[in-house]
Amino acid sequence: MKVDLTVNGSEHAVDVADNALLSDVLRETLGLTGTHVGCDTSQCGACTVHLNGRSVKACTVLAGQADGGDVTTIEGIANGDDLHPMQVAFRANHALQCGFCTPGMIMSAIDLVQSADGPLSAEDVRDGLEGNFCRCTGYHNIVKAVLDAQANM
Amino acid sequence: MEEQGEFVIPATPQEVWDALQKPDVLQECIDGCEEMTLTEEGTFACVVAIKVGPVKARFTGTVKIVDPHPPHSYFLDVSARGGGAGFGSGRAEVELQAVPEGTRLNYQVRGTIGGKLAQIGTRLFQSFSRKMTRTFFERFSQRWVR
Amino acid sequence: MSAETGIGASVLRKEDARFITGKGQYTDDISVFGQTHCVFVRSPHARAKINGINTDAAMAMDGVIRVFTGDELVEDGIGDLPCGWVVNSKDGTPMVSPPHPPIATSVVNYVGEPYAFVVAETLQAARDGAEAVEADFEILEAVVDTATASSSAQIHENAPNNQAYDWELGDREATDAAFAKADHVTTLDITNNRLIPNAIEPRAALGSYDAASSTYTLYTTSQNPHVERVVLALFVNVAPEANLRVISPDVGGGFGSKIFVYAEETAVIWASAKVGRPIKWRADRTESFLSDAHGRDHVTKAELALSSEGEMLGLRVKTIANMGAYLSTFSSSVPTYLYGTLMAGQYKTPAIYVETQAVFTNTAPVDAYRGAGRPEATYVVERIVETAARELNMDPVELRRKNFIPPDAFPYQTPVALEYDTGNYAASMGKALELADSDGYAARKAASETNGKLRGRGYSCYIEACGIAPSQLVISLGAGVGLFESAEVRVDVSGSVTVMTGSHSHGQGHETTFAQLVSDRLGIPFESVNVIHGDTGRSDYGLGTYGSRSIAVGGSAIDRALDKIIAKGKKIAAHMFETTEDQVEFAEGQFSYAGSNEPKPFAEIAGAAYIPAVYPLDELEPGLSEKAFYDPKNFTYPAGSYVCEVEIDPSTGVTEIEKFVAVDDFGNVINPMIVEGQVHGGLAQGIGQALLEHGIYDGDGNLSTGSYMDYAMPRATDLPDFEVDMTSTPCTHNPLGVKGCGEAGAIGSPAAVMNAITDALGVKDVPMPATPHTVWETIQQGA
């Protein structure tokens, strides 16, 4: 089937199998390997991207479901050399170690901050990132980073 | 995995016994049963589509009646394979007893499951099998009610 | 060098630049021209004879290129997956290591063991092909339970009683004598729950063969690519070592599970030559659960003999360790030399005797997982010490203080083989108590009671032995490898530096820490140091990263290479100064000579090394590049004090960690930010073990916890903020004064949590993991 996607601002018309997942299309067809697959069952959140401005787990979205949609991946959040405040905060707070969960974690965190009614507390951040596993950091520095980033978003 | 239970069916033990030997009756009563054929006396081949949590598959299996004492008791040996989804096998002991309301059927099942079904379906399998059994006997009893 | 980037500075990480932008290159991110895909066909049975495998239907399917079975590997001379450490039993006989073909041939011994694999044009075609492979299994009785394995059906022909070995350490008679004179004996039955490591990046491999040069290239998720290469070459016979290049690119966490040489990468690299095309495989999560080596799984009886004043007199420990179905790469060393040797803990217990019986079961192989043996040892020691204090009505802090090895007793020879070089346990304890607001505890407990909650506090004073290890010592104990590390420091003409290290980073931040070390010692900008790792084609040899060895062993190797660079630099500078090398000093990036007021910056000497105008080339080779192999003289012994405070809701059994304080002594610290991050991660895994995680097999040997829906990993909401601090007694035997920090958190924390929970509930023991259900049941039993 034919699927039209806008990914990180570029338009793509891709021909994919009916059962192709959005994560497959991003990684295999478009070569955007920053979106990682950690569990295939939408439990780990490593594949989180934005679809029409909201975070989704790309391993459980069919490419066809995203037809006509606007997708942003980890590769698309910086403005040229200007990193997104969440990227800056993750580095500044040592909120990543192996880096595998990081793209999904950053994409979830951006949506969490953007869709919050008011300033988030540490507890709100922990609740909001429940869908993303990190096995390296114990989340301590991730929480710090998100709190830090929200001041600059 | 072990399970037991009883149902009261509004029919005589002989009627129940006879019905339980008929492939078309079994097919109608087993949820998701797509085929049920008598391959030889007391042995059925069947295809059943099931869905347990995230595992959905078509199982191909055999059901064999062992040590029948009509219309009182028999054993059913069941084994089924669902390709990549896993497999199951087990033995059910079935006893029929005449009661004023009709027939009381007691059953006791001992079985094992394996493959994906066991890895990601175990939590759900017990409730799944209970529901499947209940559905079977509800449908089975309906034969005499309507 | 600058204070912002030198040793001791919390420099932000270089590697983050690619990870936060999605530019990391993990194995599955790499694709090569003509690549095919591979799916493994795995046993649905825990134990069965394979009477036949029919691959015809699979072979006939669209897109399927080849279907391989284990017999084809055997016929091609592919050997078994070896266990690299031979542990001897009490009677001196070597352990039993059953045959372990990468792809099962005649029997399968755990659910998930591969017995065939399908190579196809697409992943979907490979999956469909795998479903079509039919095997005729004769199902045999499965052995699952650790405690009863030795009296169950025999799994391997050469392993009676399902025993791999029956090992001992320590002085049995001295220990019996200590118990005979004891006033009090505390006994504890302990189960150390089976864990599944779960790096978020699943294992993966991409193998290719170049027929023109007869060389193989394997990209794989390994913590030690050189070890992978030597095992595949020397033991598994895939290819001559020189023709095999193993690359571990960015690796998404390891925690031990990616040390080992597994069936999958073996099959992929071997088959790439048979198919004549590159083959890629990536595990899905359930495959990871089934086939990654698991951790822990001990059943232990421990007894501690004490005087009435609380003096620890003797410790007796008897453990049954579940090895799973086969002996994985380093599995045998875990419940022995990495476990029994730690039973002294931080204490001067004079007599200790440890026995470990290693048993086979029809479960996935068990091997090193973060801490590997030392968390299990710490759990035994710190649970029984706390229990003894309660039984003797002593403050558990006081009992520990009374028995600590005092700072003036180092170097200290324990009764279980290790010689601790340095430490100050009371200092860590003091700092931890302060941070934990010990004085305010009574008020907090009273407040909890008012709210109908149960509050408890627990301690854990761990010690661990890491930076494994002096080669000759471990070889004499049965290890099949040396455990040194290599480093090469290449100074460029312009004075920038490329470092090749045999250590491997899969989250530890070596590109930053090692660059700090080099920048600090050579006095060159941090930015002009580039660290390369993970490629057998680019660095000499290396033993990789596990057992918290990177800075202590890998860092020391770099330091040694830097010594050689500086020594050669002095020779060159001596010619420029027209003096002798012993007259040349090197400090803060400059070579200087008392007879000259014009010191030579490092970059100038580097340039002179490659543009050899001033020195005689028959005496001194041109260039400035040095290698070093560093073999540690001893383990390093990080130690620390952890305090955990919990509040339990008795109506639900839910445990909240209210406070977790960790004070660690890692000696000198290069990058405190990174070290604290390592502690955080370790704590998360240790708390996960205590509260949530449990790998469970049912009676038939099915893994019931084969997905993230069933195996409870800590999520952000499950963990508290940590209070982390440090004390320092620098390591006395490595040039940097450093100790390993990667595993401490996972080693020390489970006992602290469980001591707090048992304190809150007022019970002797609660099995790990203390899930709400388990805690609630414990409360109901007491009620």
Are the beta carbons of A74 and A106 closer than 8 angstroms?
A: yes
DSSP string, C706-721: -STTTS-PPPGGG---
Same domain, C269 and C315: no
State the chains in contact with B (3 or more Cβ–Cβ pairs under 8 Å): C
Domain of C69, CATH number, reads 3.90.1170.50
Alpha-carbon dihedral angle through residues C405, C411, C415, C416, given to the nearest 10 degrees: 110
Task: Supply C541's token pair.
Answer: 């040899």
Nearest CA in chain C to A80: C21
Task: Supply B79's token pair.
Answer: 């084994």
User: Is the pLDDT score of C453 beyond 80?
Assistant: yes
Strand C215-220 vs strand C244-247: parallel, antiparallel, or unpaired?
parallel
Same domain, C391 and C283: no
Helix H or strand E segment including C559: helix C556-577
Task: Supply C629's token pair.
Answer: 């192999």
A/C interface, count of CB pairs below 8 Å: 172
Q: How many CB atoms lie within 10 A of CB C525?
A: 16
C391 inside 8 A of chain B by CB: no
Instruction: Give me the residues of B, 71-100, that contact C with CB < 8 A.
Output: 83-84, 86-87
B69 inside 8 A of chain C by CB: no
B/C interface, count of CB pairs below 8 Å: 43
Are the beta carbons of C548 and C740 closer than 8 angstroms?
A: yes
Q: What is the pLDDT confidence band of residue B144, given thresholds at 50, 70 and 90?
A: confident
Are the beta carbons of C307 and C313 closer than 8 angstroms?
A: yes
| pLDDT recorded at residue B130 | 84
Q: For residue C151, give the DSSP letter.
A: G
Q: Do C201 and A92 touch (CB under 8 A)?
A: no
Q: Which is higher by pLDDT, B7 or C315? A: C315
| pLDDT recorded at residue A41 | 86
Direct distance between the N- and C-terminal alpha carbons of chain B, in angstroms, rounded to an integer: 35
User: Is the pLDDT score of C1 beyond 70?
Assistant: no
Q: Does the CA dihedral A96-A98-A103-A108 come out positive or negative?
A: negative
User: What is the rounded distance in angstroms from the CA atom of residue A61 to the CA atom of residue A16?
Assistant: 13
| pLDDT recorded at residue B84 | 76
| C223 within some domain | yes
User: Is the pLDDT score of B1 beyond 80?
Assistant: no
B126 inside 8 A of chain C by CB: no
Q: Min CA distance, B83 vs chain C (Å)?
A: 6
Distances from the Cα of C783 to the Cα of A98, C762, C777, C780, angstroms: 46, 12, 10, 5
Q: Do C509 and A141 touch (CB under 8 A)?
A: no
What domain range includes position B87? 2-142
Distances from the Cα of C526 to the Cα of A99, C84, C490, C496, C497, angstroms: 22, 38, 15, 10, 10
Q: Min CA distance, A48 vs chain C (Å)?
A: 12
Same domain, A69 and A91: no
Are the beta carbons of B115 and B82 closer than 8 angstroms?
A: yes
Q: Do C702 and B83 touch (CB under 8 A)?
A: no
Smallest Cβ–Cβ distance between B122 and the set C45, C127, C698 belongs to: C698
Which alpha helices (DSSP H) does C578-635 contain, by range? 602-610
Instruction: Give me the residues of A, 120-139, that contact C with CB < 8 A.
Output: 122, 125-127, 129-130, 132-139
The pTM (predicted TM-score) of the whole model is 0.95
Same domain, A68 and A31: yes
Are the beta carbons of C294 and C144 closer than 8 angstroms?
A: no
Task: Answer with the one of C590, C607, C630 that is the final residue of a domain.
Answer: C630
Average pLDDT of the residues in B97-108? 93
Same domain, C639 and C626: no
pLDDT digits (tens, 9 = 90+) for C529-559: 999 999 999 988 999 999 999 999 999 999 9
Reading across the β-sheet that carries C654-665, which strands appear in turn?
Answer: C454-463, C639-649, C654-665, C723-727
| A64 within some domain | yes
Phi, psi of C661 (to 5 degrees): -110, 130
Question: Residue length, chain A?
Answer: 153
Distance from the Cα of residue C310 to its chain's centroid: 34
Are the beta carbons of C648 and C456 closer than 8 angstroms?
A: yes
C41 inside 8 A of chain B by CB: no
Q: Min CA distance, C64 vs chain B (Å)?
A: 17
Same domain, C549 and C494: yes
What number of CA atoms fall less than 13 Å from residue C734's CA on the CB side? 36
Q: Do C710 and B87 touch (CB under 8 A)?
A: no
Smallest Cβ–Cβ distance between C285 and the set A40, A106, A140 belongs to: A40
| C507 within some domain | yes
User: Is the pLDDT score of C56 beyond 80?
Assistant: yes
User: What is the rounded distance in angstroms from the CA atom of residue C222 to the CA atom of residue B97?
Assistant: 64
pLDDT digits (tens, 9 = 90+) for A68-109: 999 999 999 999 899 999 999 999 999 999 999 999 999 999
Are the beta carbons of A5 and C112 closer than 8 angstroms?
A: no
pLDDT digits (tens, 9 = 90+) for A111-126: 999 999 999 999 999 9
* Chain B partners within 8 Å of C44 (Cβ): 86-87, 114-115, 118
| pLDDT recorded at residue C223 | 97
State the chains in contact with C (3 or more Cβ–Cβ pairs under 8 Å): A, B
User: Is the pLDDT score of C462 beyond 80?
Assistant: yes
* Chain B partners within 8 Å of C131 (Cβ): 83-84
Query: Domain count of chain C?
Result: 3
Domain of B59, CATH number, reads 3.30.530.20
Task: Supply C239's token pair.
Answer: 């290819």
Task: Answer with the one of C630, C663, C697 that is the final residue of a domain.
Answer: C630
Which residues are within 8 A (CB) of A144 and not within 5 positions of it... i.e. 6 or more apart? A93, A95
Helix H or strand E segment including C662: strand C654-665
Same domain, C446 and C511: no
Nearest CA in chain B to C697: B119
| A80 within some domain | no
Task: Answer with the one of C242, C272, C291 that is the final residue of a domain.
Answer: C291
Direct distance between the N- and C-terminal alpha carbons of chain A, in angstroms, rounded to an integer: 38
User: Is the pLDDT score of B141 beyond 90?
Assistant: no
* Chain C partners within 8 Å of B83 (Cβ): 131
Q: Do A97 and C508 touch (CB under 8 A)?
A: yes
B56 inside 8 A of chain C by CB: no
Same domain, C429 and C550: no
Domain of A113, CATH number, reads 1.10.150.120
Lowest mean pLDDT among B142-146, C33-37, C137-141: B142-146
User: Is the pLDDT score of B18 beyond 70?
Assistant: yes
Same domain, C438 and C357: yes
DSSP string, C201-231: SPPEEEEEEETTTTEEEEEE--S-HHHHHHI
User: Is the pLDDT score of B146 beyond 70?
Assistant: no
Average pLDDT of the residues in C465-479? 92
| C377 within some domain | yes
Task: Supply C741's token pair.
Answer: 């920090």
Long-range contacts of range B63-69, CB-CB < 8 Å, 24 or more positions apart?
B63/B26, B65/B21, B66/B42, B66/B91, B68/B42
| pLDDT recorded at residue C280 | 98
User: What's the mean pLDDT when you consider all of chain C?
Assistant: 97
Domain of C568, CATH number, reads 3.30.365.10
What domain range includes position C508? 16-22+484-630
| A110 within some domain | yes
* Chain C partners within 8 Å of A48 (Cβ): none
Domain of A9, CATH number, reads 3.10.20.30
* Chain C partners within 8 Å of A17 (Cβ): 124
| pLDDT recorded at residue C2 | 60
Same domain, A101 and A144: yes
DSSP string, A58-118: GGGSBGGGGTTEEEE-GGGSSBTTB--HHHHHHHHTT--SS-SSHHHHHHHHHHHHHT-SS
Helix H or strand E segment including C272: helix C263-275
| pLDDT recorded at residue C212 | 97
Same domain, C622 and C659: no
| C166 within some domain | no
Q: Do C709 and A38 touch (CB under 8 A)?
A: no
C134 inside 8 A of chain B by CB: no
pLDDT digits (tens, 9 = 90+) for C78-100: 999 999 999 999 999 999 999 99
Average pLDDT of the residues in B68-74? 93
* Chain C partners within 8 Å of A46 (Cβ): 200
Task: Supply C524's token pair.
Answer: 């060159």
- Give the three-class secondary structure for C399: helix
Nearest CA in chain A to C714: A133
Nearest CA in chain A to C678: A137
Q: Do A32 and C22 touch (CB under 8 A)?
A: yes
Average pLDDT of the residues in B78-104? 89
ipTM: 0.98
Smallest Cβ–Cβ distance between A91 and the set C20, C24, C200 belongs to: C20
What domain range includes position A133? 85-150
State the chains in contact with A (3 or more Cβ–Cβ pairs under 8 Å): C
Q: Do C509 and A27 touch (CB under 8 A)?
A: no
- Among C566, C567, C564, C556, which residue's Cα sits nearest to residue C630? C556
B102 inside 8 A of chain C by CB: no
Are the beta carbons of C346 and C399 closer than 8 angstroms?
A: no
- Among C283, C460, C311, which residue's Cα sits nearest to residue C371? C460
pLDDT digits (tens, 9 = 90+) for C159-218: 999 999 999 999 999 999 999 999 999 999 999 999 999 999 999 999 999 999 999 999
Which alpha helices (DSSP H) does C136-262 contain, by range? 172-180, 225-230
C63 inside 8 A of chain A by CB: no
Smallest Cβ–Cβ distance between C680 and the set A83, A98, A137 belongs to: A137
Query: Domain count of chain A?
Result: 2
Q: Which is higher by pLDDT, C500 or B53? A: C500
Distances from the Cα of C383 to the Cα of C376, C407, C443, C458, angstroms: 11, 24, 25, 9
Task: Answer with the one of A20, A43, A75 that is the final residue of a domain.
Answer: A75
Q: Which is higher by pLDDT, C668 or B88? A: C668
| A17 within some domain | yes
Lowest mean pLDDT among B114-128, C112-126, C536-550: B114-128
Q: In this prediction, what percent of chain C has a pLDDT beyond 70? A: 100
Average pLDDT of the residues in C278-288? 97
| C92 within some domain | yes
| A144 within some domain | yes
User: What is the rounded distance in angstroms from the CA atom of residue C377 to the CA atom of residue C465?
Assistant: 11
| C174 within some domain | no
Query: Domain count of chain B?
Result: 1
- Please, what's the b/e burial string for C396-429 (b: 16 or more CB within 10 A of its CB; e: otherwise)? bbebbebbbbeeeebebebbbbbebbbbbbbbbb
| pLDDT recorded at residue B121 | 65
